[in-house]
Structure formats: structure tokens, C-alpha cells
């Protein structure tokens, strides 16, 4: 699925209050929809905004890239992060994290467009290996369609937002030779 013409994906530099609010809305919607992305219910606006302020500061320090997917009117409908490896023996790899699409905007190619943008960011930075994990069957199907390799599952890895253990599935993608 190609990127919808009404969608714009861009790197977030220093996040404005409006962008923090939009990203927080996406995060809260995903958590309220059951996404296991590091937060428990209820996820307050203040906690979500604090997370995005921290992620924005980390991006400003060059530790990660925060991507946003916006509708033509400027509403943020999705996001993904590329987190550069933190150890000196892993200069070739990065993690894809917090790949989130608002429930009202799903199944329109936004996830695939964000993933492709994350891969381009990694290649531009000289990274040739990406790693991610997910607890979602829908996300698993997306990653497989985009050429990611499934490594396996880790049981009882985290909690669902409402409680109860969930497993996670690890994926990787080698970018060598990727256009």
C-alpha cells in the first residue's frame, strides 16, 4: 500500500505545544485501544505529554528521530521513532519504537508509510540493521508485508494497559541493498 496523497510524514525537531498535544492524543488513543506500548490505564494527558516532551528532548540531543504522520489539515494521526543504538559496538543498528497510528486512521497505509520513513532515516544515518518488538497481531502482519523477519516470541514480556501479561514478538530487517 502506498502512502496516501493526503498524508505528510516529517521529522519532528523540537516539538511545539500543539505537536505535544497531538502526539499525546495518538498515544492515549492507542493505549485506550489496548496497545502495549509501555503505559498502563488510565493514561493521563499529563503523563502522555511528559513522555513526548522527553522524547522531543532526546531527539534534539540526536539520540532518536521522532517521525509524525499528519493529515493535510495538520492533525497528527501517527508516529514512529528510530532510536539509535546506545552502545559503541552497535553503530550499525537502531530500534524502531512507539509505532502508533490513531484508531480512526488505521488501515489507510499510514503504518507502512511510517515504517518506510523510519527505514529511510536509518539508511541515511548509515544504519543497516533495524530491530523492533510488538504485541499486536495487526502490527505483525504489517511488518511481515514490509519485509521484516520474525525472530520469535518472549512470553509474559510486559503487561497489557488494563493488566495481565502479554508476550512480545521480535522482528528485524537488514537494510543492506535496500533502495
Burial level of 80, CB count in 10 A (0-12/13-18/19+)?
buried
User: Is residue 54 over pLDDT 80?
Assistant: yes
Confidence at 37, pLDDT banded by 50, 70, 90? very high
CA angle 67, 177, 137 (to 5 degrees): 50
Q: How much of the chain exceeds pLDDT 70, in percent?
A: 97
Among 101, 102, 133, 114, smallest CA distance to 65 is for 114
Higher pLDDT, 176 or 162: 162
**Residue 2 binned pLDDT confidence (cut-offs 50, 70, 90):** low
* Chain mean pLDDT for the chain: 96
CB 109 within 8 A of CB 117: no
Is a pLDDT exceeding 70 seen at residue 179? Answer: no
CB 110 within 8 A of CB 7: yes
Domain ranges of the chain: 8-127
Distance CA 3, CA 133 (A): 23
Q: Residue 178: what pLDDT?
A: 59
State whether residue 50 is helix, strand or coil: helix
User: What per-residue confidence (pLDDT) applies to 1?
Assistant: 47
Q: Which fold has domain 8-127?
A: Aminopeptidase (3.40.630)
pTM: 0.95
Amino acid at each position: 500500500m502506498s502512502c496516501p496523497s493526503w498524508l505528510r510524514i516529517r521529522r519532528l525537531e523540537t516539538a511545539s505545544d500543539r505537536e505535544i498535544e497531538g502526539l499525546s492524543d495518538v498515544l492515549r488513543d492507542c493505549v485506550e485501544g489496548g496497545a502495549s506500548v509501555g503505559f498502563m490505564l488510565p493514561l493521563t494527558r499529563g503523563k502522555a505529554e511528559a513522555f513526548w516532551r522527553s522524547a522531543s528532548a532526546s531527539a534534539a540531543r540526536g539520540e532518536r528521530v521522532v517521525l509524525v504522520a499528519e493529515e493535510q489539515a495538520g492533525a497528527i494521526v501517527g508516529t514512529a521513532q528510530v532510536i539509535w543504538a546506545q552502545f559503541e559496538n552497535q553503530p550499525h543498528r537502531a530500534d524502531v519504537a512507539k509505532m502508533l497510528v490513531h484508531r480512526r486512521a488505521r488501515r489507510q497505509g499510514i503504518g507502512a508509510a511510517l515504517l518506510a520513513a523510519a527505514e529511510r532515516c536509518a539508511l541515511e544515518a548509515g544504519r543497516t540493521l533495524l530491530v523492533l518488538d510488538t504485541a499486536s497481531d495487526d502490527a505483525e502482519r504489517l511488518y511481515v508485508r514490509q519485509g521484516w523477519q520474525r525472530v520469535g516470541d518472549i512470553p509474559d514480556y510486559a503487561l497489557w494497559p488494563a493488566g495481565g501479561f502479554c508476550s512480545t514478538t521480535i522482528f528485524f530487517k537488514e537494510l543492506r541493498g535496500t533502495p
